[in-house]
């Protein structure tokens, strides 16, 4: 055995095409030749190993195209396994691994169709009279690559959980900034600047006088006397913000949207020009399928880079699905069986967003997939709508906080953020260092109110259904009794839960009202007239990448007053619609 065997490869190619010649001897000869190439490989034989190994694989490919898999499987699988494990050239190893997987996983007829199509697409001449395997014509563009504009009529990409509010607009602030001094919100995350000692002490002759403007770019502000309560709040916020990742230097917090991909067999076949004349049983056995599907996502909203999704195999929905359901209205279907049947024809896709700002938007979806006959299909699918509720995450809890202490931590964090977001906040110009140690952020809070004319029972049920994981505290004995019965809201702080707690005396069905007088309006103070509060929900929501939304919901018999505070004022534009959809439509 030596390198001269390569001169016989054109003959081997013709033998591999001949169905009357058993391939056993040729496979054994190629196996010995591959072993020889592995043993003789060295620094001077790099290109020779690649060239001759590739040509030997070309003969294996010819056998796969022209012979039944059953005649080749055992010996050829051993040859390919040896090559992908021990051959010195990486490309030859990868190609042999691909052929081995195809031989093991794909039935013979489909395998021959795929390999034949691959040769046609790459421009490989069908003639066997070639001096080398790579003596091919110039590659020509594939005629099987098609772009369809009406893919949305048969291929459906949908959210698993529908939105309460579909926002068809979003607030853009970039065009609103005309002055040089940006508001605190638009400054976002800044880098932590080290003190500039060089400017302060460069001139020794003037060292007795250091201008205040040289120390800071911020306007002068009076000294603040900080009591123990404010100091405790600031310490808690510093510890909390140090757990929030700075997305500029590391992976930010992700929002996951669960979706499903499915396609209708009947419409899909009509789009491809395939006529369906099969019987009902043949239809089930001949459902179309999509292979190696790639979904790519993009968005004009600030969601960062969205990873693509890969689906190896997806079977089309049965042709007669709707027809059968209409003809059998009295059939008995076990509970859950229908949903399990539907899952077989759907692929679950998780879209991971990394928001730079908590805002609604639309994610565009592009698909590229393959049919059974090797045709490549690409096009645009229906985009998915992202709502403000998708941005709702639980607040980050430090890992050193024990499980039984987390409810109290969340309650204290709510109290600290509520104080920091208030109009009369004592936190001043405090900045908080983010995780990573490079970025700092400040809290610039704002507040609003929303009056909901909804009965207490409906409000409690809607809160348990949609906001239970964000509730950090419940106060008021009547409200605690109602929530405790449901058992859905747990691991929160229960205030006034003791048997001797003083309940609200007036429980007449008088709705809450907002009343103002001139002095209170000037101060921004809102009071409730004839309050009949059952209690109060405290809701803490984290908005990535670093913002918060706080609700203090004063629940009455027939109406509820929601006090809202946030450090991301643009989100208030969406909260009004969200609360109305959450409570008034339930």
Region for residue 273 given its phi and psi (left: phi exceeds 0; alpha: psi -120 to 50; beta: otherwise) = left
User: CB atoms < 10 A from the CB of 448, how many?
Assistant: 13
Q: Which segment of 102-116, 276-290, 412-426 scores lowest on mean pLDDT?
A: 276-290
Read off the pLDDT of residues 20-37 as tens digits, 9 standing for 90 and up: 899 999 999 999 999 999
E-strand ranges in 323-445 read: 347-353, 361-370, 376-386, 431-433, 439-442
Read off the pLDDT of residues 233-273 as tens digits, 9 standing for 90 and up: 899 999 999 999 988 888 889 999 999 999 998 888 888 77
Q: How far apart are CA 295 and CA 352, in angstroms?
A: 13
Q: Which segment of 222-236, 322-336, 567-581 scores lowest on mean pLDDT?
A: 322-336
Read off the pLDDT of residues 379-393 as tens digits, 9 standing for 90 and up: 999 999 999 999 999
Residue-by-residue DSSP string for 239-307? HHHTTSB-TTTS----EEEEEEEEEBHHHHHHHHT------HHHHHHT--EEEEEEEEEE-SSS--PPP
Mean pLDDT of 277-286: 56
Q: List beta partners, residue 540.
A: 550
Mean pLDDT of 145-151: 71
* 18 secondary structure, DSSP code: -
Residue 531 has pLDDT above 90, yes or no: no
- pLDDT band, very low/low/confident/very high, at 171 (cuts 50, 70, 90): low
pLDDT: which is higher, 44 or 240: 240
* pTM for this model (two decimals): 0.66
- pLDDT band, very low/low/confident/very high, at 515 (cuts 50, 70, 90): low
pLDDT: which is higher, 225 or 408: 408
User: CB atoms < 10 A from the CB of 286, how many?
Assistant: 15
Q: Alpha carbon 565 to chain centroid distance? A: 28
Phi/psi at 108 (nearest 5 deg)?
-55, -50
Q: List the end-to-end C-alpha distance of the chain, in Å, as a whole number.
A: 82
Q: List beta partners, residue 158.
A: 260
Read off the pLDDT of residues 465-494 as tens digits, 9 standing for 90 and up: 999 999 999 999 999 999 998 889 999 999
- pLDDT band, very low/low/confident/very high, at 7 (cuts 50, 70, 90): confident
Mean pLDDT of 288-307: 93
Mean pLDDT of 39-56: 85
Q: Check: CATH 3.50.50.60 for 153-162+250-325+335-391?
A: no
Residue 186 has pLDDT above 70, yes or no: no
Question: What local confidence, expressed as pLDDT, does residue 408 receive?
Answer: 96
Instruction: For the chain, give the number of residues.
Output: 586
Read off the pLDDT of residues 316-354 as tens digits, 9 standing for 90 and up: 998 655 444 444 444 454 545 556 667 889 999 999 999
Q: How far apart are CA 367 and CA 377, in angstroms?
A: 8
């Amino acid at each position: 055995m030596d390198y001269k065997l390569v001169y016989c490869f054109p003959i081997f190619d013709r033998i591999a095409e001949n169905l009357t010649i058993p391939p056993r001897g040729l496979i054994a000869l190629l196996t010995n030749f591959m072993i020889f190439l592995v043993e003789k490989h060295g620094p001077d034989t790099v290109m020779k190993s690649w060239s001759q190994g590739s040509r030997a694989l070309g003969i294996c490919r010819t056998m796969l195209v022209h012979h039944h898999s059953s005649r080749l499987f055992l010996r050829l699988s051993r040859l390919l396994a040896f090559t992908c494990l021990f051959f010195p050239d990486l490309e030859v190893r990868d190609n042999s691994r691909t052929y081995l997987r195809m031989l093991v996983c794909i039935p013979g007829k489909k395998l021959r169709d795929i390999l034949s199509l691959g040769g046609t697409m790459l421009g490989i001449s069908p003639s066997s009279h070639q001096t080398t395997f790579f003596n091919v014509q110039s590659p020509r563009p594939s005629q099987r690559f098609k772009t369809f504009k009406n893919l949305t009529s048969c291929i459906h990409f949908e959210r698993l959980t529908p939105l309460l509010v579909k926002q068809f607009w979003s607030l853009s602030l970039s065009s609103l900034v005309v002055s040089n001094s940006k508001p605190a919100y638009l400054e976002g995350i800044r880098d932590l600047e080290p003190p500039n000692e060089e400017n302060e002490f460069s001139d020794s002759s003037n060292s007795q006088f250091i201008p205040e403007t040289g120390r800071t770019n911020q306007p002068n502000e009076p000294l603040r006397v900080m009591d123990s309560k404010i100091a405790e709040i600031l310490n808690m916020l510093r510890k909390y913000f140090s757990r929030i990742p700075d997305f500029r230097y590391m992976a930010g917090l992700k929002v996951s949207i669960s979706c499903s991909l499915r396609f209708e067999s009947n419409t899909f076949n009509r789009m491809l020009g395939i006529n369906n004349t099969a019987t009902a049983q043949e239809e089930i056995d001949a459902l179309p399928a999509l292979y190696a599907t790639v979904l790519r996502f993009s968005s004009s909203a600030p969601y960062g880079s969205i990873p693509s999704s890969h689906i190896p195999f997806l079977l089309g929905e049965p042709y007669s699905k709707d027809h059968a359901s209409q003809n059998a209205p009295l059939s008995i279907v076990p509970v859950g069986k229908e949903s399990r049947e539907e899952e077989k024809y759907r692929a679950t896709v998780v879209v991971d967003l990394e928001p730079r700002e908590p805002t609604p938007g639309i994610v565009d979806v592009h698909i590229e997939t393959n049919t059974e006959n090797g045709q490549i299909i690409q096009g645009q699918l229906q985009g998915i709508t992202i709502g403000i509720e998708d941005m709702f995450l639980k607040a980050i809890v430090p890992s050193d906080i024990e499980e039984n202490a987390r409810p109290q931590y969340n309650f204290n964090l709510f109290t600290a953020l509520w104080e920091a977001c208030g109009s009369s906040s004592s936190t001043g110009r405090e900045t908080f260092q983010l995780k990573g140690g490079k970025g700092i952020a400040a809290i610039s809070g704002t507040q609003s109110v929303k009056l909901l004319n909804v009965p207490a029972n409906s409000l409690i049920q809607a809160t348990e259904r949609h906001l239970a994981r964000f509730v950090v505290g419940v106060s008021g004995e009547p409200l605690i009794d109602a929530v405790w019965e449901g058992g859905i809201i747990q691991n929160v702080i229960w205030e006034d839960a003791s048997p001797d707690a003083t309940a609200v005396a007036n429980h007449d069905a008088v709705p809450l009202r907002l009343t103002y007088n001139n002095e209170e309006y000037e101060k921004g103070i809102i009071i409730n007239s004839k309050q009949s509060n059952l209690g109060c929900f405290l809701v803490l929501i984290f908005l990535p990448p670093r913002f918060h939304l706080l609700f203090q919901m004063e629940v009455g018999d027939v109406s509820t007053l929601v006090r809202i505070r946030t450090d991301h004022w643009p989100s208030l534009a969406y909260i009004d619609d969200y609360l109305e959809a959450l409570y008034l439509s339930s």
